[in-house]
A and B are shown apart, each in its own frame.
Chain A
Amino acid sequence: MTQQLINGAVLCAVYVLFSLGLTLSWGALDVLNLAHGALMMFAAFTAYVVTQYFTLPLWLLFVIGVGAAGFLTLLLDVVVFRHIRAKVADKRQAELLTLIAGVGAAGIPVTLAVAYTHDSPFGIGHLESSTFRLAGGAQISKIQIAIIVLGLALCVALALWVSRTRTGRALRAVAFDGETAELMGVNTRTLSAFTMLIAGSLAGLAGMLLVIYLGALTPGSGEPFMLKGFAIIILGSVGSVWGTLIGAVVLAGTETLVISQTSGSWVDAISFAIILLVILLRPQGVVGKGLAERV
């Protein structure tokens, strides 16, 4: 039981990190970045490629992997998404084009990883880590502790950033009404670039923690994570930091329960069931926005 709780908490922390990035860009900038999952995988892949040539300490690998995902997401925003936003006046049309561009962008890292690894699992080692014994025979490793602490800490930090700081306030203003916010002196370009950098780095961090925790990822690992991310942010209402935490707790809890009771091959279907249930039973939760309520 304790062991299940620990496993669930680790899963939950990784989900939170991944989904926070997805929800932040959607809630604040109306960018649903369909390349988010591919970039998560690409962070771990970059670190893996580096380990093929150099022997680096773990923290440096983290910097490289997280940096790669953050930088590429920033690049995607500055080069592609910003171009679309500036060029296309109609908001719906811009959203659609952003969506399509995200799918196209996701194809690039996935294909690179498939070509390099011949579509097989890759890892970056560092599996050996000391474990602590807890009461009841449960075990918890250093990495598991690190994942849980990081997940919680970043969740709190992000919530504080959005609600308490000047830039966070600016972000909420942009989410509510981008044009007016700009008139009030908010530099929306810098802010959106910064938000995307954070979103991408969070995806990268999730990818790095996941590849160490699981031992390996595959080039296709990002796709089921998009499903999970969708389920979490739709449960927690888009743009809400605490909602994301709640969504992640629900999904990770359900998944851990299903894995412990069944063979676990249907586990990816839970996210889809959640998405469908929310849409059918609580469409108002789907329409409501976390960062700023907008009808």
Chain B
Amino acid sequence: MTSWYFAHLTLVQGLLISIPLAISVQIALRSGVFSFASIGFYGIGAYGAGILVIRGWPVPLAIVLMIVGSGLVAYLISAPLIRLRGLYLGMVTFAFDLILTVVVTNGGDLTGGALGLLGVPIGVGTGGLLAAAAIAVLVVSQLERRAVGRALVGIKASEELVMSVGVDLKQRKRLVFAISAALGALSGSLYVLTFSTVQPTSAGFTLIITTLTMAVIGGTSSWVGAVIGAVIITWLPSLAATIGEYQHLVYGVVLVLVVMYAPEGVLGALRWIWLRVAGPGRRLRPGASPSDAPGGPPPPGGPLATVDAGRAKG
């Protein structure tokens, strides 16, 4: 066990760092907010924490400052962004991620230019990473259970319905945006304080692909999906040594296939199997239509689409 642990230390650390990032994307997609912004905030968190710690700031303060600062900034800038229709928000946040690469490349001595930040003092142990990931999971899982989370599911199913029962939709979306950004910043600062370096390309296009794959492959309906996705994507390259440089090609193909054939991800598949194995009685309950079962046998379009199909087109 101990030898396994040390042989896989980097992977374990990578996994613990990826979990908050995967959740940050999952929580946005789950609420129907087409935002890739948390990946940009990952970059901000990584560079920000690195720069502060190099200048002698205490590690916990730097991390907390990055989380709170990113959350606040995200909340403030979310006002004009949340008004945008889905595709526009996707486009703007995608652009935000790409522009950060340009900014940090031109940051001069502060960001280390094209080479990136090097020699950031290592400030987080595996225990710290575990604690951070656990706190992120705890916060998000509590949010999911409470009214906030239920409202978020509602936002995705039907915005009109949620508004009609008196939920301040705008406020909720802005909150999701801020939490997502804070989680991204947390993940980024953990990264730089574990691996002591960050490059301009670290938060670029490949990270968008990797993180989206994590969130989507696991299933965006719950934080559990994001964790499952993070585990799969972290261990995939080490299991299949041959994919090496073709890693992102495999992610790309997997991402497309999952979106096409299993938009509910691994979590949806597990639920489906669970209902088959453990709950056949429930499925035969008189008067219950098959689509009542959460994540039930995917009819064309999956369960979500079945719910949505009943909704009047806006």
Q: Which of B5-37 contact A (CB under 8 A)?
A: 29, 32, 34
Q: Which of B105, B260, B300 contacts A101 (CB 8 A)?
A: B260
Please tell me if the beta carbons of A269 and B103 are within 8 angstroms of each other in the complex: yes
Could you tell me which residues of chain B, from 198 to 218, have a CB within 8 Å of some CB in chain A? Answer: 204-206, 208-209, 212-213, 216
A223 contacts B254, CB within 8 Å? no
B283 interface hit (Cβ, 8 Å): no
Q: Which of B80, B88, B256 contacts A104 (CB 8 A)?
A: B256
Among the listed stretches B124-132, B138-146, B176-184, B302-310, which one makes contact with chain A, having 4 or more residues with CB under 8 Å of it? B302-310
Task: Give Cα A105 to B94, complex, Å.
Answer: 15
Q: Are A269 and B102 in contact (CB under 8 A)?
A: yes
* A115 interface residue per 8 A CB criterion: yes
- Asked if B260 contacts A96 (CB within 8 A), the reply is no
Complex interface: stretch among B167-175, B242-250, B274-282: B242-250
**Contact (Cβ within 8 A) A90 B311:** yes
Which residues of chain A come closer than 8 Å to B69, judged between CB atoms? none
Inter-chain contact A279/B301, CB cutoff 8 Å: no
In the complex, A269→B103 CA distance in Å? 8
Residue of B nearest to A34 (CB): B94
- CB-based contact B308/A279 at 8 Å: no
Residue A280 lies at the interface, judged by CB distance under 8 Å to chain B? yes
Cα distance A234–B99 when bound, in Å? 16
Q: How many residues on the B side are at the interface (Cβ–Cβ under 8 A)?
A: 57
A161 within 8 A of B: no
| Residue A74 is within 8 A (CB to CB) of chain B in the complex | no
B231 close to A (CB within 8 Å): no
Contact present for B209 and A227 (CB under 8 Å): no
By the criterion CB–CB under 8 Å, are A93 and B252 in contact? no
Which residues from chain B contact A272 at a C-beta distance below 8 Å? 95-96, 98-99, 102
B54 at the A interface (CB under 8 A): no
Complex: how many Å from CA A32 to CA B216?
A: 18
Contact present for B102 and A101 (CB under 8 Å) = no
Which A-chain residue is minimally distant from B298 (CB atoms)? A87
A92 contacts B252, C-beta separation under 8 Å: no
Let me know if B103 and A283 touch, CB within 8 A: no
**A158 CB–B CB distance under 8 Å:** no
Q: Is the CB of B81 within 8 A of A92?
A: no
In angstroms, Cα B305 to Cα A83, docked, is 14
DSSP class of A's interface residues: helix, strand, loop or mixed?
helix
| Any B CB within 8 A of the CB of A106 | yes
Contact string, B229-253, partner A, CB cutoff 8 A, digits 1/0? 0000000000000000111110111
Q: Complex: how many Å from CA A105 to CA B212?
A: 12
Q: Which residues in chain B, 26-51, are within 8 Å of chain A measured between CB atoms?
A: 29, 32, 34
Contact (Cβ within 8 A) B209 A223: no
In the bound complex, residues from chain B placing their C-beta under 8 Å from that of A101 are: 255-256, 259-260
Residue of A nearest to B210 (CB): A107
Known contacts A84-B260, A90-B304, A100-B216; decide if A111 and B99 are in contact (CB<8 Å): no
Measured CA separation A93–B92 after assembly (Å) = 18
Contacts of B260 in A (CB 8 A): 80, 83-84, 87, 101
Query: Chain B contacts of A87 at CB under 8 A?
Result: 260, 300-302, 305
Option from B246, B252, B302, B306 in Cβ contact (under 8 Å) with A106: B252
Q: Which residues on the A side are within 8 Å of B92 (C-beta)?
A: 230, 275, 279
What is the bound-complex CA distance between A155 and B304, given in angstroms?
41
Q: What are the residues of chain B within 8 A of A93 when measuring CB–CB?
A: 156, 304-305, 308
Question: A53: CB under 8 A from chain B?
Answer: no
| Pairwise interchain contact B259-A104, C-beta atoms closer than 8 A | yes
Task: Give min CB distance, A275 to chain B, whole Å.
Answer: 6
- B84 at interface (Cβ–Cβ under 8 A)? yes
Whether A266 sits at the interface, judged by CB under 8 Å, is: yes
> Which partner residue on chain B sits nearest A115 by CB separation?
B245
CB pair A234 B91 closer than 8 Å: yes
Interface centre among B86, B95, B212, B302 (most CB of A within 10 A): B95
Quick one: CB contact mask for A3-14 with B, threshold 8 Å, 1 for yes? Answer: 000000000000
